[in-house]
Amino acid sequence: MIDMRDLRKDFVVRVKAGRLRREKRTVSAVDGVSLAIERGEMVGYIGPNGAGKSTTLKMLTGVLSPSSGDVRVCGLEPVPQRTKLALRIGVVFGQRSQLWWDLPLGESFRLLRHIYRVDPAAHRERLKRCRELLDLDEFMDTPVRQLSLGQRMRGELTAALLHGPEVLFLDEPTIGLDVVSKQAVRSFLGELGRGGDVTLVLTTHDLADIERLCRRLVVIDHGRVVHDGTIEELHARYGSRRRLVVDLDTPLPPGFTLPGATMTGTEADGHRVTFTLDTIAAGAAVAGLVGAAAVRDLSVVEPDIEDVVAKLYTAPR
């Protein structure tokens, strides 16, 4: 569905090099990205600010021409065949709008039907579904400029889907949304993904989006892919460990060690201890502890994706 081979985008910037002189310098925003995405996949595309996510998305949608490399979306070359491709993809930008500012939402949808020349029955059917799933009815007649961000985003999602795209690109679709709106957008996208007809490419800084929606995670930094795989693989690769947090009635005896685990924290005068489970299973660790001290309470903490990604972003290159 999407095929990129050694995709690059270089920008030439002029830097001050003296009182009047300016030097040209080439900056690679995307530096040889190769990816293949199959039909029906849901891919999270993440990276720190300025990593090249949006630049990649722009090249995939045909609004920016690559400096070099090969790219195909739905079998089409995005830039030369942009208008053809536009009929087959949907794009949602969290930070900009494709709706008509002055027109009521419903009017925008009608206009999109004409622009994409969608069959009236198919349009009605899709719109009905979006209205149900995204609760659009209460603001269908409100001009877009008067919508709240959450309402607008639901409108944007609908607008991107009314022509039945094969690929949906989402550029930070939950940015700035409140918890409820985020959940609405996520569950809608989840529903969409389960259908298996639409390929989803999602860029975001909210890793909860990814955890809920995407089985595959592509991490990009400085224009290069630094990880391509599942979230579990990411944890395995960066040595994320589960942690065991134990509340004790009496502190552990001095010099206590738990084979296969590392003590990584002590709080409340030794009444709360945290172990990182390196090779030992949680059950065995608990058994080892019960013999050494009176355990009042305990919890096992799953590795945090945010920590892993933060590690990834700040890792020396």
**Binding stretches for another protein (CB under 8 A):** 11, 49-50, 54, 58, 61-65, 82-84, 86-89, 91, 93, 95-98, 100, 102-103, 107, 110-111, 114-120, 122, 125-126, 129-130, 143, 161, 163-166, 191-192, 194-198
CB atoms within 10 A of CB 220: 24
CA distances from 195 to 92, 162, 188, 199, 222 (A): 19, 16, 11, 10, 34
Q: How far is the CB of 249 from another protein (least distance, A)?
A: 52
Q: Walk across the sheet containing 272-277 and list its strands.
A: 261-267, 272-277, 242-248, 295-301
Q: Of 31 and 171, which has the nearer Cβ to another protein? A: 171
Q: Of 8 and 271, which has the nearer Cβ to another protein? A: 8
CA distances from 259 to 189, 245, 251 (A): 44, 16, 18
**Token pair of 49 as six digits:** 């600010």
Q: Which residue has the tokens 């096992």?
A: 300
CA distances from 27 to 4, 31, 33, 71, 165 (A): 20, 9, 15, 20, 33
Q: Of 141 and 302, which has the nearer Cβ to another protein? A: 141
Q: Of 94 and 303, which has the nearer Cβ to another protein? A: 94
Q: Which residue has the tokens 């009905």?
A: 128
What's the rounded Cα separation, in Å, for the pair 87 and 85? 5
Cβ 247 vs Cβ 286: under 8 Å: no
3-state class (DSSP) for residue 271: coil
Q: Of 95 and 299, which has the nearer Cβ to another protein? A: 95
Q: How far is the CB of 161 from another protein (least distance, A)?
A: 5
Q: Of 26 and 299, which has the nearer Cβ to another protein? A: 26
The β-bridge relationship of strands 295-301 and 261-267 is unpaired
3-state class (DSSP) for residue 308: helix
What's the rounded Cα separation, in Å, for the pair 272 and 256? 14
DSSP state, residue 304: P
Q: Of 62 and 303, which has the nearer Cβ to another protein? A: 62
Q: How far is the CB of 158 from another protein (least distance, A)?
A: 10
Q: How far is the CB of 65 from another protein (least distance, A)?
A: 7
Q: Of 123 and 227, which has the nearer Cβ to another protein? A: 123
Q: How far is the CB of 196 from another protein (least distance, A)?
A: 7
Q: How far is the CB of 255 from another protein (least distance, A)?
A: 53
Q: How far is the CB of 209 from another protein (least distance, A)?
A: 17
Q: How far is the CB of 307 from another protein (least distance, A)?
A: 24
